[in-house]
Amino acid sequence: MAKPVVATASLAGCFGCHMSILDIDERILDLIELVEFHKSPIDDIKTFTKKCDIGIIEGGVCNSENVENLKAFRKNCKILIALGECSIMGGLPAMRNGIPIKECLEEAYLNGVTVEDNLEKILPNDDELPMILDRVYPCHEIVKMDYYLPGCPPRADLIWNALVALIKGTEIDLPYEVVKYD
């Protein structure tokens, strides 16, 4: 029987949720037996060349590239999982949501105490750069999400249990104790 195909992406996240996937330790060998990884930072496959069964999204949506990427995941994955608080509700990056975008950019590139070497006072304006959005959006405000795995990051055991339950078609066990915010 063909293995379910899993894709993952990190949008506006810190890669901590992906690190938590790898924290399943030696069960990664079992996971490789259970699923085939497709587009993901884990295997460095960068484009969809087939439909996937499960898409796992870390991070919220802060720029136009995140929007395109998330829509591509929705189009190519039967099930989409929001992994971690940034994906579920914007997380730490959403702390900028109450501040006007102009002020954020000026603090980051012109006036902040850590700004060095921007003598010409230029804000990044290359056409190649993704357009920053007015605020950081949780994934479900851009596309339909099917499941939410809470935590920052979600525990490795929670990710493992959820993936196995999805693959085997059993109920996901989500007791309160596994929801953790380090």
Considering only 91, 145, 149, 163, the residue that binds ligand SF4 (CB under 6 A) is 91
Note whether 86 binds ligand SF4 by CB under 6 A.
yes
Stretch that binds ligand SF4, among 42-50, 83-91, 106-114, 119-127 (CB under 6 A): 83-91
Nearer to ligand SF4, 21 or 52 (CB): 21
Q: How far apart are CA 178 and CA 173, in angstroms?
A: 10
Residues 41, 29: Cα–Cα separation, whole Å: 17
Give 31 or 93: the residue with its C-beta nearer to ligand SF4. 93
Planar angle of CA 5, 22, 10, nearest 5 degrees: 65
Rounded to whole angstroms, how far apart are CA atoms 2 and 51? 13
Regarding 84 and contact with ligand SF4 (CB under 6 A), the answer is yes
Is 90 among the residues that bind ligand SF4 (CB under 6 A)?
no
Tell me: does residue 17 bind ligand SF4 (CB under 6 A). yes
Query: Contacting ligand SF4 (CB under 6 A), which of 55, 59, 90, 138?
Result: 59
Asked if residue 150 binds ligand SF4 (CB under 6 A), the reply is no
Residue 112 structure tokens: 């902040």
Q: State the nearest-atom distance from the C-beta of 141 to ligand SF4, in Å.
A: 16
Peptide bond into 93 cis (omega under 30): no
Give the residue from 54, 109, 57, 91 showing the smallest Cα distance to 76: 54
Q: Which of 165, 6, 172, 141 is nearest to 66 (CA)?
A: 141
Show Cβ contacts of residue 101 under 8 Å, excluding neighbours closer than 6 positions.
132, 134
Asked if 92 touches ligand SF4 (CB under 6 A), the answer is yes
Q: At closest approach, how far in Å is the CB of 61 from ligand SF4?
A: 13
Give the nearer residue to ligand SF4 in terms of CB position, either 55 or 59.
Answer: 59
